[in-house]
Amino acid sequence: MGEKILLQTKRVRYYITMTQNLSSSALVKPLAKDVHAEADIPSGYGKTESFLLPKDPAWLFLFWEITPNTLDCIKSQYSEDVLKNARTVIRLHDVTNVQFFDGNNSVTHYDMPVIFEARSWYINAPQAGRTYLADLGYLTADGKFILVSRSNSTLLPPGKVSDIVDDKWMIVEGDFQKLLKLAGADYIGLGASELMHVLGQRWKLTELTSSGAPSSWSSFALHLDKVQPEENEDIWLQADCEIIIYGSASKNAIVSINGKEIELKEGKFSIRQHLPAGSVVDLPIKARNAKGDKTRQINIKALREQGN
């Protein structure tokens, strides 16, 4: 007796009788009662229509169905010679900012040959970021266009970084209050606007610290930001300053400031440095090649004098 193994395909289940000595003579017996018919995607839906889709900033995709009844109707309106000598084309319309398209008021249009039986076609768009609409039809020898099917309009993406820089994103009030609590507003007794100002200052001070400013300066400046004048004071003033060191170096040079290597961007560099009152800041800037046998150096010293 052999062993029966169930083999199931998409449509029919089979039992393969396997003997101990497996050979090409294994018997395959279809089981009619286990046949599951699977419906295929229909070749058409019996309706003349077309759809235009954007693929990427440079290409569009058009697919369509044209029924025999539609073609028979067109043939009944025109003589056989007219359609015989006509070309089947896709007329791509640029309908950017066209509110109501009537077939003749597009910004411009482009004709390209097509085979109706293909049922789909890739179209190279003349320009990204525009709105297009496609007509399928016949182009007669005398230049007349006979419409068979008109697609929807579709907008191609611009294919570049957006020019919009002033978008404002809405935050639900409840979520905003939760963010304030997480940021510690309840503990330091600040309102929303004051908290935003403090967080902004803290971010700026983070940049200063990463560029070489002492960490103690960060806590000192944040303390200054929170100082508020007492009610009995007529006027008050707090000030501090920093310097910006910038320059350029030869290609492939390794640049360091005060012994710390800095990154060059297209041969240029720029850092911010806190300048404490009453002290001299010494900033030696050095450039060397990869071997280290060639160097250049510039010494920058800055003194801040602050009087009352």
Give the C-alpha separation, 256 to 292, whole Å.
13
- The H-or-E segment that residue 285 falls in is strand 280-288
Nearest to residue 274, comparing CAs of 211, 225, 220, 223?
Answer: 211
Say which CATH topology domain 49-155 has: Immunoglobulin-like (2.60.40)
Tokens of 306: 């602050």
Around Cβ 271, how many Cβ atoms within 10 Å? 20
Tokens of 11: 């449509």
- Model confidence over 63-82: pLDDT tens digits? 999 999 999 999 999 988 88
Tokens of 304: 């801040």
The number of residues in the chain equals: 308
- Model confidence over 124-179: pLDDT tens digits? 999 999 999 999 999 999 999 999 999 999 999 988 877 666 556 666 666 667 77
pLDDT for the residue numbered 133: 96
pLDDT for the residue numbered 11: 46
Model pTM above 0.75 = no
> Phi-psi category of 3—alpha, beta or left, where left has phi over 0 and alpha has psi -120 to 50?
beta
Average pLDDT, whole number, for the chain?
76
pLDDT for the residue numbered 36: 56
The gap from C-alpha 204 to its chain's centroid, in whole angstroms, comes to 29
Q: Looking at the predicted structure, is the pLDDT value of residue 194 above 90? A: no
pLDDT for the residue numbered 37: 56
DSSP code of residue 208? H
Q: Looking at the predicted structure, is the pLDDT value of residue 31 above 60? A: no
Q: Looking at the predicted structure, is the pLDDT value of residue 239 above 50? A: yes
pLDDT for the residue numbered 134: 96
What are the domain boundaries of the chain? 3-34, 49-155, 173-226, 242-303
Q: Decide whether 49-155 matches 242-303 in CATH topology.
A: yes
The residue that leads in pLDDT, 225 or 308, is: 308
Q: Looking at the predicted structure, is the pLDDT value of residue 10 above 60? A: no
Q: Looking at the predicted structure, is the pLDDT value of residue 288 above 60? A: yes
The residue that leads in pLDDT, 236 or 295, is: 295
Supply the CATH classification number for the domain 242-303. 2.60.40
The whole-number average pLDDT for the span 34-47 is: 71
Q: Looking at the predicted structure, is the pLDDT value of residue 211 above 60? A: no
The whole-number average pLDDT for the span 269-297 is: 82
Q: Looking at the predicted structure, is the pLDDT value of residue 13 above 70? A: no
pLDDT for the residue numbered 92: 96
Number of H helices, E strands in the chain: 6, 16
